[in-house]
Amino acid sequence: MSRKYFGTDGIRGEANKELTSELAMRLGYALGYRIIKKSKKKNPKIIMGSDTRVSGYMLRSALTAGLNSMGVSVDFIGVVPTPAVAFLTQNKGAEAGIMISASHNPAKDNGIKIFSSSGHKLSDDIEIELEELMENIESLKENMPNGDNVGTFKYREEFYYTYQDHLLSAIKGDFSNMKIILDAANGSAYRIAKQVFMRLKAEVVVINDTPNGTNINVKCGSTHPEILAKVVVGYEADLGLAYDGDADRLIAVDKFGNIIDGDKIIAILALDMKKKGILNDNKVVTTIMSNMGFENYLEKHDITLIRANVGDRYVTEKLKAHGLNLGGEQSGHILLFDHSTTGDGVLTSLKLVEAIRDSGISLDEKVKDIKDWPQKMINVSVHKDKKETWAKNEKIIKFIQSKEKEMGDTGRILVRTSGTEPIVRVMVEGREEKDVVRIVTEIAAIVEKELI
């Protein structure tokens, strides 16, 4: 069954246009109804957090109204990373967790991510069930409690410090004598990242940590690490660390200003964990987007790569299926299952710095032997109603097949749709950069012409 509201990472859209307060309230009703029916607790609670977008207040109020109306109470933590909600949902015994964020999307967008009581993202079946309930709100209202039996709303600032202590518990020793630049993307990491690194005695400089509700992700953070690279070089820092809007991603920068993506971060963590004897089965999970050069590097160190479809939920499924504890995406979503149930940018940054400290080898030296094949991706904006039709378009398919035949064993082509935006992503990887650039441009042009 196709889904009407949920995408690959919750519900997302432009605030007050696609993602309205009415829709959020209906979701609150539906989730509240399901919790009341399934829970054995007399006063069930959920954990809620938000990033720094101005529309978060509107959505928080609407979700809370729906949940409280069904008898479910809300413990609100304030502005926190998405993984804080996942962790605290499990840690505090809540029935579910809600994060209000559109992650790396522009500030005008917002989103709603829901976690189960175990701190994991909801299954497709539960999301479909919630959508069905959202379409039948009037019948749900018959089950509303009256008077003082409605749910409550409490601001639980102390839970923020529980999460902070959780992050610190994952690190042995401190980071004294290390100079680190942090880019908080004017988002969820604007407090927590600085605080944990300072508590670990690192010398810290923070940029983009003054959110105003509309500057989240604007030319900063993990999607725009160029300024961070300049600051790292200018301050002669050991490295830089960039988060996205809800701080579930990490991109790093070495002391020379080179950008280190998720593949390379995973490689560093994998070798560190293997050396310490804690990399389960000496295997990691990444996606079909990961570079072949990265895979070859892991093989040379006797680490096997397992590929999943794009999306951290699919990486999670593979990790669970194989009993593994490290995986992630080239974009910087990295899963450390020994410490978290979902991608956590701040946790990953702490573990990365710990690995660098323990080895005594700088970040640039750690990645120098990872020789990436040239890879280029073009995001093609298409008509929203045509996004999913690319795989059935005969002109597009035949053209891609001809280019695959042309590349043979010297490269690969990946075409996929964004789960949250009207975009078709075209990625080409190969040994020769000039061929990669030419072929990805040609395919993107065909996709745009056919689907605009």
Q: Which residues are catalytic?
A: 103
Q: Is 78 helix (H, G, I), strand (E, B) or coil?
A: strand
Q: Is 381 helix (H, G, I), strand (E, B) or coil?
A: strand
Q: How far, in Å, CA of 322 to CA of 108, rounded?
A: 39
Q: Which residues of 420-441 are buried (b: 16+ CB within 10 A; e: fewer)?
A: bbebbbbbbbbeeeebbeebbe
8 Å CB contact between 47 and 77 = yes
Written as one string, the DSSP assignment of 9-29 is TBEEEEBTTTB-HHHHHHHHH
Cα angle vertex 330, ends 323, 51, to 5°? 90
Name the nearest CA neighbour of 292 among 101, 134, 141, 427: 427
Residue 371 backbone phi and psi in degrees, to 5: -100, 100
Place of tokens 């990669």: 436
Q: Is 52 helix (H, G, I), strand (E, B) or coil?
A: coil
